[in-house]
A and B are shown apart, each in its own frame.
Chain A
Amino acid sequence: MKKFLALLLSMILALSLAACGGDSGQSQPTVDKPADTQQPADSGSEPAEGKNVKVGLICIGDENDQGYTYNFIRGKEAATEALAAKGITVEWVVKWNIGEDSGCEDANIELAEEGCDLIINNSFGFEPFMLKVAPDYPEIEFIACTNQASWGDSLDNTHNAFANIYEGRYLAGIVAGMKLQQMIDEGTISADQAVIGYVGAFSFAEVISGFTSYFLGARSVCPSVTMKVQFVGSWSDATEEANAASALADMGCVMISQHSDNTTPATTAQSKGVFHTGYNNDMISVAPEASLIGTRINWAPYFEYVIESVANGESFDQDWCHGMDMDAVVMTDLNEAIAAPGTAEKLAEVEDQIRSGKLQVFDTSTFTIEGKALESAFALDTDGDFTPDSEEAVFDGAFHESYFQSAPYFALSIDGIEWLNSAF
């Protein structure tokens, strides 16, 4: 026992030495009252015209997902760099792997108490918990990405944001469609074998809007294309996503795309000898023989905009949604080695048309629902029963997605797309 005590004592000594040694000037930025740091616009800080903003970011995952959260981190880094050039220093506090439960409420409180001027919640399900905290901190701005209850509520400090990702999906669809048309022209497949398989997370408006725009893009260059959608019942489940992609390939799909977080649909497509287009990230590196292109939201322009507004003490949009017009939606590199010839030119052409507003992705003359053209569809739900009941989205010959609010609301099932399971 004595020996044990001696060992213990020596350890204590060693550690306390180590502790003393490492204690050089590691002072924490202690912030007691958020109100004190609220107006960083005031010229009182040491650097000449430097402005500091403390931003909290709450993430559902961490950057290792190489998908959804990683994409936010990319936006964070790009925005920090861009703002530094403008003399604005951003101090980020990131909370990783937060669940969509009261833990998210705690994370919001924690960041607020740490003196953040702006708190960004990156997942859809965070919003209700964020909204419980926001009233207690009226001087802090709160953002719920991809959701829809913050912009229209009675609070001025709650915001929503999303991007017109359907524009990027449409372009990815064009790349896929051109590849399919090339295969038809070369006689590799017959016209009715041009089938796309789509791995979707849930039958959720954001997903439906995404795969519909993707399909419309493909059909604009390959008229005989059809699509099968398999829902996996999870935003991120590598195994299930691979299984779904594999099942779709076995059903005869020669092109796979996805709205889920992992790269396994890409690798599965490659092993099955079919093609693929990705989401959130460039997947060419994991599947060089299958992955044609990807599309992702670029959060940098939005982050830059809101942080600059906060730094200058200005208010900013409560609901923000932009697309290719502000580079909020970008395409990843085109895999020229396997893409159909002329794809890059076609992409540039259509991108211009989208930017100029000449081309509407959800042009009602390009699709039918149960054989009929779409004449009317509501965008927003105002009475809380989760069925849209106000704001006519169909006008000027198109369904206007993300026009009345940033969160997507196209949730219709159009002809040519077969839902294999809508249980999710």
Chain B
Amino acid sequence: MNHEKKIPLIRLAKRDGMESWKVWCIRCGSILFALLLGALVMALAGANPVTAYGTMISGALGKKSAIRQTVKIAVPLLGCALAIAPCFKMRFWNIGAEGQITAGAIAASYFALFWANRLPSPVLLLVMGLAGALAGGLWALIPAFFKAKWNTNETLFTLMMNYIIIGVVRWLQGGPWEGRKGSQIIPQFDEAACLPRVLGVHCGWIIVLVLVVFMHIYMNHTKHGYEIAVIGDSVNTARYAGMNVGRVMMRTMFLSGAISGIVGFIVASGANNTLYDGVAGGVGFTSITVAWLSQLNAFAMVGISGLLAVLSKGAETLQTRMAVPTSISDIITGILLFCMLGCEFFINYKLIFRGAGRKEARHG
């Protein structure tokens, strides 16, 4: 042990102004690195990595039916990433999208279950969508109101709200909306309350694509979007500029919740044709990754959510064909996300090794 003052082995320094080609090289490199690490995991699990990756891709995109399923997985991810983007831009950590999706699904399901005979299908679907948006928006408005009024912690608040609303669905499943006694299952919706299919997938994909364009315009070319950006950069600047921060927060959260609510409507009406407590299925959390990876860029989200959907569908096929446990594919997805998020670190900081000239850095 020597006690003389040493330069640490690795030092970090902030770097800015990296050329964009370099940035993209790092990003691509990180994906490559993740795929290699994933290959290692697969090899350990006893599968040939090359065949395994091939199986994943062909399983997700190899056939029309496979592509349809992949799109079905991507739709809620994309929709929800769009929903949380404005909140995150504002540095309002809304991790309650899960609950907002569920709230929207409940409201949509109410009309699906009890109004199916009273309204023509297009009107019914419209009402379901609006109800979903309203419910999701109101559910999101509650934590925003408390934050604006009393500066409560929005992370904890939105998270807790998730458990409440999921509890409500459990109650509905076993209580007033239950189908066969004791089954805990809400009956399937009437045909009129199910989203029609376009090209083999429920038309939720069209809705989210429209939302992509809307969100891009909203964030980049409107006064609202500008206010969100300013608040995200500095609340004090926003105040100084005369913005009503609390109001903007509530407005943005309502919008975010409303889009999540629409996603809830799409999932309940388009994919499941029923309501159950897992309607959000973790989408509210996974979409946070989608939003971050896309750097809150609406168009990039299309690609990222597609990538995650390919992985997820590919993992299923991997399990089917090669009997690789789905948990292995979860690990690979995890590695990929970790590397992709982690590489941003190397874009923003550079590592300076001690004694850059020396060949080997040994531990004392």
Q: How many whole Å from A232's CB to the nearest CB in chain B? A: 12
Q: How many whole Å from A227's CB to the nearest CB in chain B? A: 18
Interface check A423, CB cutoff 8 A: yes
Q: Which residue of the partner chain A has the closest CB to B69? A: A106
For A110, list chain B residues within 8 Å (CB): 69, 316-317, 320
- Complex contact A19–B179 (CB within 8 A): no
B window 34-82: CB within 8 A of A: 36, 39-40, 43, 48-51, 55, 63, 65-66, 69, 72
- Complex contact A15–B321 (CB within 8 A): no
Interface check B14, CB cutoff 8 A: no
Interface pick from B158-166, B183-191, B222-230, B242-250: B183-191
Q: Which of A15, A94, A106, A203 is the one whose CB lies under 8 Å from B49?
A: A15
Q: Cα distance A259–B313 when bound, in Å?
A: 34
- Complex contact A202–B182 (CB within 8 A): yes
- Complex contact B63–A113 (CB within 8 A): yes
Given contacts A15-B39, A110-B316, A114-B321, contact A204 B181 (CB under 8 A): yes
For B181, list chain A residues within 8 Å (CB): 203-205, 386, 411
Q: How many whole Å from B75's CB to the nearest CB in chain A? A: 11
Interface check B326, CB cutoff 8 A: yes
Q: Cα distance A95–B321 when bound, in Å?
A: 10
Q: Cα distance A411–B181 when bound, in Å?
A: 9
- Complex contact B51–A125 (CB within 8 A): no
Interface pick from B115-123, B233-241, B271-279: B271-279
For B188, list chain A residues within 8 Å (CB): 128
For B232, list chain A residues within 8 Å (CB): none
A window 224-260: CB within 8 A of B: 233
For B180, list chain A residues within 8 Å (CB): 204-205, 381, 386
Q: Cα distance A96–B320 when bound, in Å?
A: 10
Contact digits for A193-234, partner B, Cβ 8 Å, 1 yes 0 no: 000000000111101100000000000000000000000010
- Complex contact B271–A19 (CB within 8 A): no
For A113, list chain B residues within 8 Å (CB): 63, 65-66
For A423, list chain B residues within 8 Å (CB): 174
For B313, list chain A residues within 8 Å (CB): 106
Q: Cα distance A99–B183 when bound, in Å?
A: 15
- Complex contact B43–A18 (CB within 8 A): yes
- Complex contact A23–B320 (CB within 8 A): no
For B187, list chain A residues within 8 Å (CB): 384
Interface check A97, CB cutoff 8 A: yes
Q: Cα distance A203–B48 when bound, in Å?
A: 48
Q: Which residue of the partner chain B has the closest CB to A206? A: B182
- Complex contact A95–B320 (CB within 8 A): yes
Given contacts A15-B39, A19-B39, A109-B65, contact A100 B320 (CB under 8 A): no
Q: Cα distance A106–B273 when bound, in Å?
A: 14
Most chain A CB neighbours (cut-off 10 Å) among B43, B50, B271: B50
- Complex contact A26–B48 (CB within 8 A): yes
Q: Which of the four size classes fits the interface of chain B? A: 35 or more
- Complex contact B281–A101 (CB within 8 A): yes
Interface check B319, CB cutoff 8 A: yes
Count A-B pairs with CB separation below 8 Å: 104
For B66, list chain A residues within 8 Å (CB): 113
Interface check B33, CB cutoff 8 A: yes
Given contacts A110-B320, A114-B321, contact A97 B281 (CB under 8 A): no
Most chain A CB neighbours (cut-off 10 Å) among B179, B181, B313: B181
Interface check A124, CB cutoff 8 A: yes
Q: Which of A11, A19, A93, A125 is the one whose CB lies under 8 Å from B185?
A: A125
Given contacts A93-B320, A107-B316, A111-B320, contact A233 B174 (CB under 8 A): yes
Interface check A369, CB cutoff 8 A: no
- Complex contact A202–B72 (CB within 8 A): no
Q: How many whole Å from B214's CB to the nearest CB in chain A? A: 26
Q: Which residue of the partner chain A has the closest CB to B321? A: A28
For B279, list chain A residues within 8 Å (CB): 101
For A26, list chain B residues within 8 Å (CB): 48, 51
For A386, list chain B residues within 8 Å (CB): 179-181
For B272, list chain A residues within 8 Å (CB): 101-102
For B29, list chain A residues within 8 Å (CB): 8
Q: How many whole Å from B352's CB to the nearest CB in chain A? A: 11
Q: Cα distance A233–B173 when bound, in Å?
A: 11
Q: How many whole Å from B335's CB to the nearest CB in chain A? A: 14
Q: Cα distance A94–B323 when bound, in Å?
A: 8
Q: Which residue of the partner chain A has the closest CB to B276? A: A101
Q: Cα distance A326–B138 when bound, in Å?
A: 57
- Complex contact A96–B319 (CB within 8 A): yes
Q: Cα distance A212–B148 when bound, in Å?
A: 57
Interface check A342, CB cutoff 8 A: no
Q: Cα distance A12–B29 when bound, in Å?
A: 12
Given contacts A102-B271, A110-B320, A113-B66, contact A96 B326 (CB under 8 A): yes
For A12, list chain B residues within 8 Å (CB): 36
Interface check A371, CB cutoff 8 A: no
Contact digits for B183-207, partner A, Cβ 8 Å, 1 yes 0 no: 1110110000000000000000000
Contact digits for A1-31, partner B, Cβ 8 Å, 1 yes 0 no: 0000000100110010011001100101000
For A384, list chain B residues within 8 Å (CB): 187
Q: How many whole Å from B159's CB to the nearest CB in chain A? A: 22
Q: Which of A101, A106, A132, A204 is the one whose CB lies under 8 Å from B182?
A: A204
Given contacts A23-B48, A101-B276, A113-B66, contact A106 B316 (CB under 8 A): yes
Interface check A424, CB cutoff 8 A: yes
For A381, list chain B residues within 8 Å (CB): 180
For A18, list chain B residues within 8 Å (CB): 43, 49
- Complex contact A207–B182 (CB within 8 A): yes
Q: How many whole Å from A147's CB to the nearest CB in chain B? A: 9
Q: Which of A22, A93, A100, A202 is the one whose CB lies under 8 Å from B48?
A: A22
- Complex contact B319–A424 (CB within 8 A): no
- Complex contact B183–A28 (CB within 8 A): no
- Complex contact B174–A19 (CB within 8 A): no
Most chain B CB neighbours (cut-off 10 Å) among A19, A114, A132, A233: A19
Q: Cα distance A23–B52 when bound, in Å?
A: 11
- Complex contact B48–A205 (CB within 8 A): no
- Complex contact B271–A28 (CB within 8 A): no
For B69, list chain A residues within 8 Å (CB): 106, 109-110
Q: How many whole Å from B312's CB to the nearest CB in chain A? A: 10
For A100, list chain B residues within 8 Å (CB): 185, 276
Given contacts A15-B36, A113-B65, contact A97 B326 (CB under 8 A): yes
Show 13 A/B contacts (Cβ-Cβ < 8 Å), sorted by A. Answer: A26-B48, A96-B326, A99-B281, A101-B279, A132-B273, A202-B184, A203-B182, A204-B181, A205-B180, A205-B181, A205-B182, A208-B182, A411-B181
A-B contact sample (4 more), CB < 8 A, given A205-B181, A424-B174: A95-B320, A99-B278, A106-B316, A386-B180
Please list the 7 inter-chain residue pairs (A to B) with the smallest Cβ-Cβ separation, ordered nearest first. Answer: A204-B182, A102-B271, A202-B182, A203-B182, A386-B180, A102-B272, A19-B50
Q: Point out residues on A near B: beta carbons under 8 Å.
A: 8, 11-12, 15, 18-19, 22-23, 26, 28, 93-97, 99-102, 106-107, 109-111, 113-114, 124-125, 128, 132, 202-205, 207-208, 233, 381, 384, 386, 411, 423-424
